[in-house]
Structure 1
Amino acid sequence: MKHPVLLAGALAAAALVAAPLPLEAAKPVVCAQCVKANMERLAGDELRGRGCGTEDEHVAARFVADTLKRYGVAPAAGTDGYLQPVQLSTPTAASPPTLQFTSGAQQVALLQGRDMAAMQPPPSLQAPFIRLSDAHASPEAVKGKIVIYDSPIYDAPGVQELLRAGAAAVIAPASDVILTHWDDLSTRPPGRTQIAGVERRAGRPTGVTIFAKADAMAALRKLEPGEARLDAPQGPPRERTTYAVIGVLHGTAPDADRHAVLLSAHYDHLGVRNGVIFHGANDDASGTAAVLEFARILGLGGKPRRTAYFALFGCEEEGGLAAQAFLAHPPMATSDLAANLEFEMIGVDDPKHPGFLMLTGWERSNLGPTLAAHGARIVPDPYPEQNFFTRSDNYQLALQGVVAQTISAWPIPPTYHDPSDDLAHVDLNLMDQVIGSMVAPVTWLLNSDFVPAWNPGLKP
């Protein structure tokens, strides 16, 4: 939960410390041609959207590794060259899940994709169903039941409250945002991907969230309580490989490796869907190109005092899978990382704060205000309701205690997860200015003794 008082204070602080000069005034150290060439390679037709675990993503990984090498960045210890392979095993659906309701002589059947989107359903589930319009029900009323949550709009906190109370499943109306991403949600795997060498934390068991279209909700409203059965037969698991690409520039200070800074981004996107390429130019070829440009600037210049790591992750779009493997087998002790800056979607200017970048979780640490005091044109995240702090690979590191936050321009442009996220809809001039505006603050961080810290009570 965000702290509005802290957020308001952070906004005021940003207004005081951010330099009034326009982005164009940034020092011209950025190689615009390099950024453009890297963007064209990553987001061009040939790599077909760099889908998680595909050969297209593998080609992108090798391109990133070759580029780091060309820029004078060494492979990080513990990786095969620059590539850390990650083996994945993902459940598949043998057929689309179905949900059958029986109430006396009445029956209603919902089909995955057509009527509903069930999130990670078990192979089978049978339970009584009830309909509620209030999420504040007693655990006795909902425990073990399939709850039709008949709220006028999608109420995420209400759904979570019912699941915490023990509901086996909660069916809720699909919001406009959910409908926008319906094809993606309804075709997701029926279970969590297993990552070789990564031990999943055993969390408390939770029920199934099911989004239903308006017609399906209308049909369910006509039913009296009865029995429901969910069938989601699974096929053989899908075996894939992704990569974390990791490079390092060892610093000159005697304790350089003990206070390292990690610059990161994810190089994958959504791949090809129904014959359409989702190029992922802004998300996140732009962030990858930024990290590569920092690697070029730092690798071809004088070495910083602190060690700099560069990590580009695959399969972020399916849950930060390569980042999880990176943390399970890191090339450094995570306690030796002073900070992580993730770069995500920096190719489209945000009308809410044109010419500025945002830092997710700004109020959580002293990193953002300190970088702003050294010239970074960054402001607090103006979209706290979107929980962007938890939605990039930085969060995997933050959970390990590292002060890890994401820098972005506009995280919700019209091109987000849309086929229109291509090179034609990215502002390369803006990218050059964005990267250029961060060169001095990042260089300062790598040559300073500053130790970023979580603010009291706000460490994730």
Structure 2
Amino acid sequence: MKNGRYIILVSGLFISSVIYSQESEINKGLQAITPDAIKAQLGFLASDWMEGREAGEKGEYLASEYIASMLQLYGVKPGGDNLPLINPGSGFKERSYFQNFVILRTTPGKNQSLQLKEYDGNTTRVTDFVHNVDFTMNPVSYPIEAEAPVVFVGYGFRNDKIRYNDLIKSDLKGKIVLKVTGYPSFAQKILTLSEINESVINSEKMIRESGAIGIIEFNPSKPVAGNPLKNDLNNTPSSEAKSLIHEFNAKYSLPGTRIPSEFLRITISARAANEILKGTGISADEYLKKADSNSQLPQLPAISKTIRLKSDVIITQIPVRNIIGIIEGEASDQIIVVGAHYDHMGISDGIIWNGADDNGSGTVGVMTLAKALAATGVKPKKTIIFAFWTAEEKGLLGSRYFVRNTSYPVNNIRLNLNFDMIGRYISETQKNGVVMTYTSSQRNFRELTENNLKKFNIDLNVDYQPSDDPPGGTDHRSFVEAGIPVMRFKPGHREQYHTPYDEVATIDWDIMEKIIRISFVNLWILANSSW
């Protein structure tokens, strides 16, 4: 432990000396970070011209051309695929700004079936449900056929703070879980939307980890199953529910990816749910009344019925591309990757989802950092890659492809700085608040940030959250999984997230600029010091 403290102390002293000796270069970079430039770039990227920047669509390709042109304007070299040789005899290979690849889009085929089987002695009664009337099924990655017992779990919701648990005493292993959409209504009087969202996610995680093979959801007030967006959203976290439309019709993956066992998600009508529960002694209405009022939950009897389902799929290849720029440092084997995803949700029912915060803000953040680094006029000691990922909204596919297929050895990547949604306050009463997530082994990151905030007069209240396994459903996870340290600043997660209302007019420009400024100073120091 003493040796570890000594190394950190020496590193801190070295970083401090770098700040002192290179402050003029840092100030040059900070001067290149201007509110007008930030607003202008985001105004274009999150405009209707980009058509929501969905991966593989025209709007995203237009956005990629714009980003590449700005990198070229700033003097950042291309770091993507090699271009075809103009003069094959010269042996000189020129790079483009694009890393091209394909993703696979899997959609449901024509054959979709769901059956209920009831056993009475030697007799089996089979009820066939009608696709797109009685049931819809989330896409699977490959054709699937399964049969399993069904178990009812109410809302399937658990939260220890309010001492509520639908899942207690439920044996879920090898079963299909029947649950009601949403959560008990009394919870919203006690929990914040963020706490409810987290509980919904953790409850489903618990269901998966308990060995269930899938979830069947229903809304008691909806007689017909169909598009999840048309379900009653009153008791469903809005951002989750409103984004379901984009997840419902297709599933995405990288070619050659090992596919784990599929977890099934099915939405059924109230009629189908009543058919499943008929004769079991379970009253969904009675259970939900007690759940919503936080009364003692009734004991649920076992259901002696099984669900049989079958689904085939259609697989389509979609060409996509990352954008890669590079500022070469003195050491080519010491690399920092600064990244943001530039894709969003596209167009749905004729409405463009412009994704100003998610993730136009992070994209402009990385573009601005590239501009600031180039403006210093100094070659950094470490090499810096500026990366703009496609298909984050499809499952972090762009960053995962880069990590698995980069021409820059992964072992040489020292750090990933991730920028995702940097344009909103935590709340109107916490306008300077921001969470800094980082790999806990890099203990000097906190001291570095604290010193730079003070020295360069950047007014942020940082909640430091080190982790051995930094969480978050965003692109730094691709680097965490490869054993690469990460750092991310994250302010607010507001109600416009994953809705068509994530527009430029909602952006809180001052928090966005402050995050870019502290990130630039941190990046400059880390790129020019030993740590």
**What is the TM-score normalised by the length of structure 1?**
0.78
Single out whichever of 46-55 and 103-112 deviates more from structure 2: 103-112
The answer to whether the 8 A contact 2:151-2:178 is kept is: yes
Distance 1:157 1:432 in 2: 33
Q: 1:430 to 1:207 in 2, by over 3 A?
A: closer
Instruction: State how 1:267-306 maps to structure 2 within 5 Å.
Output: 267-301=342-376, 302-306=378-382
Partner of 1:380: 463
Instruction: Give the superposition deviation at 1:439.
Output: 2.4
Q: 1:98 to 1:40 in 2, by over 3 A?
A: farther
Distance 2:107 2:485 in 1: 36
Q: 1:359 to 1:173 in 2, by over 3 A?
A: farther
Single out whichever of 162-171 and 85-94 deviates more from structure 2: 162-171
Partner of 2:54: 51
Single out whichever of 43-52 and 182-191 deviates more from structure 2: 182-191
The one of 58, 62, 66 equivalent to 2:69 is: 66
Q: 1:106 to 1:272 in 2, by over 3 A?
A: same
Distance 1:179 1:92 in 2: 25
Q: Deviations over 1:200-247 (max 9, x none)?
A: 2464x3542446687865664335422322233323x22211111111
Instruction: Give the superposition deviation at 1:167.
Output: 3.5
Partner of 1:416: 497
The one of 327, 341, 354 equivalent to 2:403 is: 327
Instruction: Give the superposition deviation at 1:101.
Output: 2.4
Q: Secondary structure at the match of 2:381?
A: coil
Single out whichever of 441-450 and 270-279 deviates more from structure 2: 441-450
Q: 1:448 to 1:380 in 2, by over 3 A?
A: same
Q: 1:40 to 1:442 in 2, by over 3 A?
A: same
Instruction: Give the superposition deviation at 1:366.
Output: 2.4
- Tell me which amino acid in the other structure corresponds to 1:322: G
Q: Secondary structure at the match of 1:290?
A: helix
What is the identity percentage for the equivalent residue pairs of Structure 1 and Structure 2? 23
1:125 aligns with 2:145: yes
The one of 394, 411, 432 equivalent to 2:513 is: 432
Instruction: Give the superposition deviation at 1:31.
Output: 2.5
- Tell me which amino acid in the other structure corresponds to 1:170: I
Alignment gaps of 5+ in structure 1? 1-25, 451-460
Single out whichever of 333-342 and 125-134 deviates more from structure 2: 125-134
Q: Deviations over 1:326-381 (max 9, x none)?
A: 11211311211111111111111112742133223565742641332332446337
The one of 178, 196, 210 equivalent to 1:148 is: 178
Instruction: Give the superposition deviation at 1:83.
Output: 0.2
Distance 1:226 1:414 in 2: 40
Instruction: Give the superposition deviation at 1:127.
Output: 1.6
- Tell me which amino acid in the other structure corresponds to 2:213: A
Instruction: State how 1:66-215 maps to structure 2 within 5 Å.
Output: 66-76=69-79, 78-80=81-83, 81-95=96-110, 97=112, 99-103=114-118, 107=127, 109=129, 118=138, 120=140, 123-133=143-153, 135=167, 144-148=174-178, 157=202, 159-164=204-209, 166-171=211-216, 176-177=235-236, 181-182=240-241, 184-185=243-244, 188=247, 192-196=251-255, 199-201=256-258, 203=260, 205-210=261-266
**What is the TM-score normalised by the length of structure 2?**
0.68
Partner of 2:306: 227
The answer to whether the 8 A contact 2:417-2:488 is kept is: yes
Partner of 1:13: none
The answer to whether the 8 A contact 2:150-2:305 is kept is: yes
Alignment gaps of 5+ in structure 2? 1-28, 84-95, 120-124, 154-165, 185-198, 220-232, 281-303, 454-459
Single out whichever of 295-304 and 142-151 deviates more from structure 2: 142-151
The answer to whether the 8 A contact 2:341-2:392 is kept is: yes
Distance 2:238 2:134 in 1: 12
1:402 aligns with 2:481: no
The answer to whether the 8 A contact 2:346-2:354 is kept is: yes
The answer to whether the 8 A contact 1:116-1:213 is kept is: no
Partner of 2:432: 355
Distance 2:177 2:79 in 1: 50
Distance 1:233 1:92 in 2: 9
Distance 2:134 2:438 in 1: 37
The answer to whether the 8 A contact 2:239-2:498 is kept is: no
Instruction: State how 1:243-282 maps to structure 2 within 5 Å.
Output: 243-252=321-330, 256-282=331-357
The answer to whether the 8 A contact 1:389-1:405 is kept is: no
Distance 1:363 1:222 in 2: 53
CA RMSD of aligned residues (A): 3.6
Q: 1:43 to 1:190 in 2, by over 3 A?
A: closer
Q: 1:206 to 1:195 in 2, by over 3 A?
A: closer
The answer to whether the 8 A contact 2:452-2:518 is kept is: yes
- Tell me which amino acid in the other structure corresponds to 1:396: S
- Tell me which amino acid in the other structure corresponds to 1:50: R
- Structure showing greater Rg: 2
Distance 2:430 2:403 in 1: 33
Instruction: Give the superposition deviation at 1:96.
Output: 9.1
Single out whichever of 112-121 and 224-233 deviates more from structure 2: 112-121
Partner of 1:456: none
Q: Secondary structure at the match of 1:341?
A: strand
Q: 1:381 to 1:54 in 2, by over 3 A?
A: farther
- Tell me which amino acid in the other structure corresponds to 2:67: V
Q: Deviations over 1:163-193 (max 9, x none)?
A: 4454332335689446654464355367753
Q: 1:179 to 1:34 in 2, by over 3 A?
A: closer
Q: Deviations over 1:271-302 (max 9, x none)?
A: 10110000011111111101111101111322
Q: 1:447 to 1:312 in 2, by over 3 A?
A: same
The answer to whether the 8 A contact 1:119-1:210 is kept is: no
